[in-house]
Amino acid sequence: MTDPEPRRPRLSTHQRTEIDENLLLGAAKNMTCLSKALFNFNPLAVQVVTTLPLYPELTDLSLDGFTPSKHIWKNEKTSLRKLHWKKSATQYTYYADKLPDMFVELRLLLKVVEATCPDMEVFNIELANTNSIPPERDTVVPPELMAEYNALLEQTEARLSKLRRFGFIMNRVHFHAGNEEIRTFILDVVGRYGHCLESITIPGGAHAWTREGLDFILKVCSLVPNLRELNVLGNDLGLGSGSKLGSMEALRALTTSPATAKIEKFSIMNMGGHFSKETGEVFKAWKNLKFLQVGDEDISGGPFGDDGRPQFDEYRPVSTIFDMATF
């Protein structure tokens, strides 16, 4: 009769966590051939992000739950061409005194991208009002690295010569203050890179059009001479209390502006009114239009609001065919 194997000592929760994290860190270090990654916050993702220059094949990166000042890579060239950085903005919507911190993070992220991503083609920033994003851990960025980035001068010249698409997305986020700073940030980025941009995604429209809100959208568009794609996502950036415009009046001004004459793709999640024959006709001004996505998030009703079915036959004679595929 053989002696039974001695029982292994039971590991504490802390020890098991350390082992799991070490395995993840080891796995991350062996994934240097990554070409595309979409990460929620976790130890493996932190390892990849903070050592990004060691991943020469990684060109497409989406991050959810990271903070630039806590989780950023060295000031060295990366291979990134596409970056989507999503961050929870819940704390900023409830605590106005924290808003300056958000703008520091935004400016830092832009500074890092300009310094380390010369091949960047698509750059999206998303602020989300959600509690589903994992809580952030303590900073893993060495103080000397932050000091190095902070010492970099604010750029006024365009460093990202290949940038074609820029998006600033506010996902169910509404600030009581700070909207002017967001508008300024958007105008700064688009103004700097408008000569090479072809696609922009910006807040606008929301539940009601105002003259000020329309003027902001048109001002952004005017900075992009070769604008081919415009996506307007519902948030009025604090401009909803200005002089009111009807949805058709606003859309007509948008489609007849010289700033939008080259538009080929247009998407608006909430046009601020109900569907009608006039909705289709207003887009005839865009002679190059190939894709149109129009939403009525308020469910405004109107002549086509009873049965819930899109009345394509009513639109077809007066406008381009609606291509409702998501892009």
The answer to whether the beta carbons of residues 305 and 275 sit under 8 Å apart is yes
Residue 92: is it exposed, middle or buried by C-beta count within 10 angstroms (0-12/13-18/19+)?
A: buried
Using the 8-state DSSP alphabet, how is residue 270 labeled?
B
CB atoms within 10 A of CB 106: 20
Has residue 133 got a pLDDT over 80?
no
Please state which of the ranges 49-63, 78-92, 300-314 shows the lowest mean pLDDT: 300-314
The answer to whether the beta carbons of residues 226 and 239 sit under 8 Å apart is no
For position 323, what pLDDT does the model report? 42
For position 301, what pLDDT does the model report? 52
Tokens (6 digits) for 176 = 């009581």
Has residue 322 got a pLDDT over 80?
no
DSSP lists the bridge partners of residue 63 as: 39, 85
CB atoms within 10 A of CB 177: 12
Tokens (6 digits) for 66 = 């990271």
Tokens (6 digits) for 252 = 């007509």
Whether the CA torsion 101, 104, 109, 112 is positive or negative: it is negative
The answer to whether the beta carbons of residues 287 and 264 sit under 8 Å apart is no
CA-to-CA distance for 144 and 150, rounded, in angstroms? Answer: 10
> Which residues have CB under 8 Å from 50's CB, separation 6+?
71, 72, 73, 140, 141
Has residue 272 got a pLDDT over 50?
yes
Is the pTM above the cut of 0.75?
yes
Quick: pLDDT tens for 23-60. 777 777 888 889 999 999 888 888 899 999 999 999 99
* Nearest to 160, CA basis, from 216, 205, 122, 105: 122
What b/e string do you get for 241-269 counting C-beta neighbours within 10 Å, with b at 16 or more?
Answer: ebeebebbebbbbbbebebbebbbbbbbb
Per-domain boundaries in the chain: 32-318
Residue indicated by tokens 């103080």: 143
Whether the CA torsion 196, 199, 201, 205 is positive or negative: it is positive
For position 299, what pLDDT does the model report? 53
Task: Give the chain's mean pLDDT.
Answer: 80
Cα torsion at 68, 72, 77, 78 (round to 10°)?
A: -90
Percent of the chain with pLDDT over 70: 72
Tokens (6 digits) for 214 = 């329309």
